[in-house]
Structure 1
């Protein structure tokens, strides 16, 4: 498993945690997600749930959506389901259509787990073994209620400026704070979000304004100089 996600960096140890003790169970998995998990598992691929759907139950929250990661290549995922397409350029994923629901499936070979700047997604749940894998201290960050980057924050944000908006979104939704180096890098590199295409910025904004975290997201964007860059008209609504 380490080789799949380590890229050129030294592979860390994975901690195995009992899912039941963390409050995670198969009963929380949506039916469409179960269809995708079982479909890939039957073909012999490794499958896990990853990210917020693993983190949220630990925080006593109800997962909003479910992301799947697999050992299958994206082309193999596409062949496994009748209604499936590959989307995205930098980090391509599959959209599997089950009834009226889209289940996002990523592959270890192309996943952001290789170099993602945010440790909060580094939890994976094996629903067949009932094990949660903790990668790079995700549980410790949850206990500290801090958003942290795996590599130095300034390097992480330069590597991919979309992580700036993602850090804001996660902190706002979870009501978490930032580590000191991450907060400093947010201020120093906020202008680099201009490197993102408009579609990506709009997508991140939609995520920020959803799930009851709109106000918190806007306040964090204002605090770190992002609001005047992305939503200059809304800046006038905030006190100086």
Structure 2
């Protein structure tokens, strides 16, 4: 099913040319080893997504765009894996940042060290320091998302590809920007008032297709967490309760 997903990802990127141009530069810089997910984070993210969705298990556009924004932020400013872990856990928990940071700090599972988007892990500092870094990264993701609506920013990205069409640019509409922003805005604001902690890992595909915020956050966090901290037989039992 992976070819199907890549095909759809390309189509989505073509629809939102901001993403296609920016992600294209990423693929060029990485040599675009098409079959090597081990060192290509974007392909790895899509590969995990491919295992969860398909023609009979659709997802809403906001999930795709959210993944693009998250990855663009990491390409612009690589992060410590603990920051990424805390960020994904905070998204999953509806903004419970302190709890997310504490879980991330207890992680003993090795992260995926071959991704250039991830810095070499360092000894974690205080909870407050990690919370601040996580909030700052959430702001970077929002900036990356904002750039998808910025005509000037897109034009500069397009200038790197002189043969690309310039007359039919399609930008992410403000309505989509606002919906995707809601995925991440809980990070740093504290647990949302109406947030109900999600139970279990089973995906509600009907809710996912509708763009339910709770379901999109759940799947987004699961994709990111699994990409950065891939499970294996020896340590899966130790982290199963920590995973989104």
Place the TM-score, normalised by the shorter chain, in its bin. Answer: under 0.3
- Normalised by the size of structure 1, how large is the TM-score? 0.26
Greater RCO, 1 or 2 (C-alpha within 8 Å, sep 6+): 2
Q: TM-score, normalised by structure 2?
A: 0.25
The structure with more strand, counted as a fraction of residues: 1
Compare the two structures and name the one with the higher helix fraction: 2
